[in-house]
Structure 1
Amino acid sequence: MARPHDQVSGSLAVPSGRRLSAPVDAGSAGKDVLSEVVRTVKLTGALFFLVEATSPWGIEVPHATTFGPIILPRAQHIVSYHIALAGSGYASLPGLEPVRFGAGDILVFPHADPYTMVSRPGGPLEFTAEASLAFLRAMAAGRLPFVVEEGGGGPEHARFVCGFLGCDARPFNPLLAALPRLLHLQRSGDAQDDVLDRLIDLTLAEARIARAGSDCVRLGLSELIFVEVLRRYLAGIKSDTPGWLAGLRDPAVGRALALLHERPASAWTLDGLARASGTSRSVLADRFAYLVGCPPMQYLTQWRMQMAARRLSDGAGKVATVGREVGYASEAAFSRTFKKVAGASPAAWRARAQRV
C-alpha cells in the first residue's frame, strides 16, 4: 500500500517536464470505481452523534486501535470525521500544526491517529484520552443521547456532527492510502440546495423524533455523509497531485482503473489494458505508476487479493472457488499470491476473520 500523505492538503508538485491530461469525472469512465472500493472495503457506520459545546471545550481522542473494539468490534480500521455546523475551533494531531476550522468545515482523520479538538490552542481538555474512551463506551452501549452537551458554559458556542466508521484496511485499501493524515475541507456556505446540508438536516430531523429503526437510519446517513465528503475531496484534487484519487480523474488512468475494477478476473496484460484505455503502453505505465504509486498489474494483483479477502472473511465458497472468482485457475497460485500480499494463507485469513 502506498504511504499516506503527511501534508494536510496532500498536494505534491508534478515532476518537471511531465504533462497530465485534463481531469475527468471519476464516474464517467464506466465502472464507478469509488463506489466499488467503498463497498468492497465494507464501509460501515459505527457511531454518529451531535455535540453542542460551550467555551472553553476540548477533547482528546486516543489512537483508534484503543476504541475500535469498543464501537465496532469486527472492524479492521476506524475512520473519524467531524462537520462543524456552528462556531469554530482547532484540530491537531502529532507532528502537524493545529488547524483552525469554522462553521461548515469538515475534518477527517483517516489513519487512526490520536488527535485533539479544542476551542482555543492550549485550552483545557474536558475529555482526556481516558475520558473519551469512557464516553465512547457509553455511547456505543446506548447510554447517551444523540445530542451531547459539553464545555465550560461560556458565551461562545460550537456545534458539530461526529461520525465514526469502520472499514477494511488490509490487505489493500487504495482509498485510505490516498488520504492525508488530516483532511480539512472548507465550505463557503454559499451553495444552494447543497447535498451535504440536506443529508445533515435529514439526520437532525431523524434525531428529533424517537422512532423504531432510528439508529440504523442515522448510521446509514453517516455513511452517505462520509461518501459525499470523499466526492468533494475528489472534485477538488489538482490534476498534478499524485494519488489514487487523482488517478480516478485522469483520462487514461481513470479508464484503466475502471476496466480493472469492472473485469478484475480477466487475463489483463499491460498492452491489452492500454489498448482498451485508448492510450499507449508506455504512457499508461508512466502515468499509472506516477499517479497511483504502482504499476497497473501490481495494482490489479493487490485489488484481487482485497476482493478475495472480503469473500474469505464472509465465508463465501471454498478457497479454490474464491481464487477462480478473482482470476486464478490454480488454487496453489492463488494461495501463494494471497499469502505474499496479505501475509497469511487464505485458510488462515478466513479462520482469523471468523474468530473475531
Structure 2
Amino acid sequence: MGTLHDPASQSLAAASILRQPLPRPPEESIPDAAVTGASGKDVLSDVLRAIKLTGALFFWVDASSPWSVEVPRADSFAEAILPSAQHVISYHIITKGSGWISIGESPPMKFVEGDILVIPHEDTYAMRSAPEERSGLTPEDSLDFFRAMATGHLPFVVTEGGGGPALTRYVCGFLGCDARPFNPLLGALPRLMRIPRVGGAPGDLLDRLIELTLAEAPAQRPGAECVRLRLSELMFVEVVRRYLETLPPEQTGWLAGLRDPAVGRAVALFHENPARDWTIEELARETGVSRSVLAARFMRLVGCPPIQYLTRWRVQLAARLLTDGLVKVSAVGRDVGYKSDAAFSRSFKRIAGVSPAEWRDGRRE
C-alpha cells in the first residue's frame, strides 16, 4: 500500500487498483434474498437512498503508547462536523498495531491490525492502548478538537500518546444519515460492529476500497476530500454487507428478515410498490405462505406486523419528499399511498411526531 507520507507511491497504488478487474463473487456467497429480499428489489440500497447516507469528517491518527482517546456522544459534536445530519455514525480502520475499544460502560474489546470498528448509535466510546489507560481529557476538550478539525485548523494526520515504541495507526471517519422518522437499518445494527479483515480472495472489494482510501489520505489534489468521503460511504455499505453475511441463523432484526424467503419477499414487495393498498392476504399469496405464518415470522424477525412496517416506510418516503420540498403536501400523501390528506396527516404525525407541513418547514429551517 505504500506509506502514509509518500503521496506519489499512494497515487500509483490507487491507479493500479483502479485498473484491476472487479472480483467475481464467490460460489458460496450469501444468497441473493439476503440483499434483494427474495425478489429483484435491492432493499438495502433502497433504504440507504432514503436515509441519505453522506460522508462527514475524515482524518488519520498515529497513536504511540501509552495512549487513550475518549469520544463523547456523537450528537454532541454533530453540529460541528455535519450540521445537516440527523444522526452520525463513527468508524475506524486499524491499519497498524492494536488496542482496546469499549462502548459506554461495557467491557473493553481488543482490536488488531486490519479490523474495522463501527459505532452506529452515537454512543460514547473509548479507544486505548490498554484497558486501564485514561487520557484525562474532558468532553469539552473532545468537542474543541472536533470543531478545530472540522474547520481545518488541525493537520490531517493527528498524533496522540506518550511517544512509546508501540504505534497504533488508524483512520477515523464519520458518516451522517437520517434516523427519523424510520430507519430500519440503524435499528438492526449492534452498538459495536467489529469486522476483521481476514485474508480474502485477491481483489477483495473491501481491501480495495481501503487501499484507495489510504492512497487518497495524504493527497492534496483537487477534489481529494470529496473522493475520500465518497469512499467512506462505500466502505460503510460494504461493512454492512459483511455483517449481514456473518449473522447467525437465530439472529432477529430487519437485516435477518431480509434473509428469510417469505419475510424478505414481503419487504421487497413493500419497497417495490409502497403506494399499493396491500393486505395481509395478498402478501401471503405473493410469498407462498399462510397469513398466520407470514404474520408470525415477520413479527419475530422484523419486530412489527407487516402493515405497520409498510406504514413506517411510507412515512419515511414522505419525509424525504417533504424535505426535498418540490411537491405539495397533498401530492406527497398520494404518492406514498394515502387516499386522503387527513389519513396521511394522522399517520405521519403518529410516527414522525409532527404534521407533514411542520416536518417540511422544520427541515427547511
Answer yes or no: same fold by TM over 0.5.
Answer: yes
Partner of 2:34: 25
Q: Are positions 1:350 and 2:360 aligned together?
A: yes
Answer yes or no: is the 8 Å Cα contact 1:55–1:157 preserved in 2: yes
Partner of 1:44: 54
- Find 1:142's aligned residue among 152, 176, 181: 152
Tell me, in whole angstroms, the C-alpha distance in 1 between the residues paired with 2:248 and 2:175. 27
Give, as a single letter, the amino acid of the residue that structure 2 aligns with 1:66. Answer: S
How far apart are residue 60 of structure 1 and its match? Answer: 0.7
Partner of 1:166: 176
- Find 1:129's aligned residue among 133, 139, 148: 139
Partner of 1:82: 92
Answer yes or no: is the 8 Å Cα contact 1:57–1:126 preserved in 2: no
Partner of 1:333: 343
Tell me, in whole angstroms, the C-alpha distance in 2 between the residues paired with 1:264 and 1:144. 46
How far apart are residue 44 of structure 1 and its match? Answer: 0.8
Tell me, in whole angstroms, the C-alpha distance in 1 between the residues paired with 2:202 and 2:67. 32
Tell me, in whole angstroms, the C-alpha distance in 2 between the residues paired with 1:301 and 1:295. 10
Give, as a single letter, the amino acid of the residue that structure 1 aligns with 2:236. Answer: F
SS of residue paired to 2:62: strand
Give, as a single letter, the amino acid of the residue that structure 1 aligns with 2:302. Answer: V
Partner of 1:241: 251
Give, as a single letter, the amino acid of the residue that structure 2 aligns with 1:322. Answer: V
Partner of 1:219: 229
Partner of 1:310: 320
Tell me, in whole angstroms, the C-alpha distance in 2 between the residues paired with 1:258 and 1:43. 20
Identity of aligned residues (%): 62
How far apart are residue 173 of structure 1 and its match? Answer: 0.6
Any gaps of 5 or more consecutive residues in structure 2?
A: 1-30
Q: Are positions 1:92 and 2:114 aligned together?
A: no
User: What is the root-mean-square deviation in Å for CA atoms of aligned residues?
Assistant: 1.5
Q: More displaced, 108-117 or 124-133?
A: 124-133
Cα 1:161/1:127, change in 2 over 3 Å = farther
Partner of 2:72: 62
Q: More displaced, 50-59 or 126-135?
A: 126-135
Q: More displaced, 273-282 or 239-248?
A: 273-282
Answer yes or no: is the 8 Å Cα contact 1:335–1:345 preserved in 2: yes
Tell me, in whole angstroms, the C-alpha distance in 1 between the residues paired with 2:175 and 2:219. 24
SS of residue paired to 2:269: helix
Q: Are positions 1:300 and 2:310 aligned together?
A: yes
Answer yes or no: is the 8 Å Cα contact 1:104–1:189 preserved in 2: no
SS of residue paired to 1:34: helix
Give, as a single letter, the amino acid of the residue that structure 1 aligns with 2:303. Answer: G
Answer yes or no: is the 8 Å Cα contact 1:30–1:255 preserved in 2: no
How far apart are residue 321 of structure 1 and its match? Answer: 0.6
Q: More displaced, 189-198 or 306-315?
A: 189-198
SS of residue paired to 1:26: helix
Answer yes or no: is the 8 Å Cα contact 1:88–1:101 preserved in 2: yes
Tell me, in whole angstroms, the C-alpha distance in 2 between the residues paired with 1:332 and 1:296. 22
Answer yes or no: is the 8 Å Cα contact 1:309–1:349 preserved in 2: yes
Q: Are positions 1:279 and 2:299 aligned together?
A: no
Answer yes or no: is the 8 Å Cα contact 1:56–1:124 preserved in 2: no
Give, as a single letter, the amino acid of the residue that structure 1 aligns with 2:114. Answer: G
Give, as a single letter, the amino acid of the residue that structure 1 aligns with 2:238. Answer: E
Give, as a single letter, the amino acid of the residue that structure 2 aligns with 1:82. Answer: H
TM-score, with normalisation over the residues of structure 1? 0.90
Give, as a single letter, the amino acid of the residue that structure 2 aligns with 1:180. Answer: P
TM-score, with normalisation over the residues of structure 2? 0.88
